[in-house]
Amino acid sequence: MSKLDFLPEQWRDPARRAVARSINVYHGCSWVLRPKTTARGVENSALIDSMGDECCDRDELIDLAVRLIQETRTVDLSDLCRRESGITEQSLSRVLRWPGEHYRLLTAVARVLSPRLVVEVGTFTGLSALAILAGLGGSGKLVSYDLKEWNTFKDTALSAKDFGPNFEQRIGDLSDEGYFAAQKEIMLNADVFFIDGPKNRTFEPKFTELLIQCRSTATLLIFDDIRLLNMIEFWRTIPLPKLDFTSFGHWTGTGFVALMSAADLVE
């Protein structure tokens, strides 16, 4: 029995939303009470039980996860430090760290799944793109979307030489129905999506809805930052087989979602 069942039925959902907002405000305010730690990065999160979110079979995703863990252990991205674009020492340390960061994992995903087409949502400085390209090894293509050109980001790791037949950037908002429709061929043909969007409670739900509506074949969605407060409810309510892979990915959260059948993702 819910603690709000004493309320008239028409008041229960608004009351639940009000309570959820209050909890978010509480956690936001608790920033000033952050735990004593020497860690450079600290984010507020929440502990959410799995009740009401157990309808999706995750066995196939777990099988895939085991393969990815083994593959990620063999990934070496240290050659990125010799790039002419000049990746900073701090960025390189992030790229090499695993678990805790997701770059080596992204390379492993590209190796294991051998996708013909990967879509990245959120180019930013390009570190994730370079990790994916390292796994593709010239056998697939990466299309990266952002609202800004790659060379407008400070400390970009990319250079003009990186772009060509196997890598391009497109500028536009994939949560906009018109722009999504214009990119439909890419959305239909991509084998893997890495989604590192704005986490603004709007983009990820809308983009995922549009993707679910247009796809009829299997694909893997990888969401970044699923443990951040703005992403927790979205992640919890995705109506597809999914697996929280944070312990072997990014410390702010890494989530795998199988659109259609996970068994179709790998041979």
Q: Is residue 31's pLDDT more than 60? A: no
Q: Band of the pLDDT at 1, cuts 50, 70, 90?
A: very low
Q: pTM for the whole thing?
A: 0.84
Most trustworthy range by pLDDT among 11-20, 106-115, 155-164:
106-115
Q: Is the dihedral of CA 144, 80, 140, 259 positive or negative?
A: negative
What would the mean pLDDT of 46-59 be, rounded to a whole number?
71
pLDDT per residue as tens digits for the range 138-167: 889 999 999 999 999 988 999 999 999 999
CB environment 207-237: b (16+ within 10 A), e (fewer): bbebbeeeeeeebbbbbbbbbbbebbebbee
What would the mean pLDDT of 12-34 be, rounded to a whole number?
66
Q: How far apart are CA 122 and CA 127, in angstroms?
A: 11
Report yes or no: 102 and 249 within 8 Å, Cβ to Cβ: yes
Residues in the chain, overall count: 267
pLDDT per residue as tens digits for the range 98-110: 999 999 999 999 9
Q: Which domains occur in the chain, in start order? A: 58-264 (3.40.50.150)
* Contacts of 3 by beta carbon, 8 Å cutoff, 6+ apart: none
What would the mean pLDDT of 164-186 be, rounded to a whole number?
97
**Of the ranges 2-11, 91-100, 180-189, which one carries the lowest mean pLDDT score?**
2-11
